[in-house]
Amino acid sequence: MENYYEREKGSLTVVMPREIDHHQANQLRVETDMLIEAYHVRHLVFDFSKTEFMDSSGIGVIIGRCKNLGYQGGEVSAKNLNDRIQKIFLVSGLQKIIKVEEN
Partner 1 sequence: MQNRNQMKLEFDARSVNEGFARMAVAAFIAEENPTLDEISDIKTAVSEAVTNAIIHGYDDPEQKVAVICKIEGRNVEIVVEDKGKGIADVKTAMEPFYTTRPELERSGMGFAFMEAFMDEVQVISAPGEGTKVIMRKKIGA
Q: Can you give the binding site for partner 1, defined by CB under 8 A?
A: 19, 21-23, 25, 29, 53, 55-57, 59-61, 63-64, 84, 88, 91-92
Cβ proximity to partner 1: between 15 and 60 the closer is 60
3-class DSSP assignment, residue 63: helix
Cβ proximity to partner 1: between 13 and 92 the closer is 92
Cβ proximity to partner 1: between 6 and 21 the closer is 21
Q: Which of 80, 74, 98, 81 is nearest to 11 (CA)?
A: 74
3-state helix, strand, coil in the chain (%, to 5): 45, 25, 30
CB of 91 to partner 1, least distance (A): 5
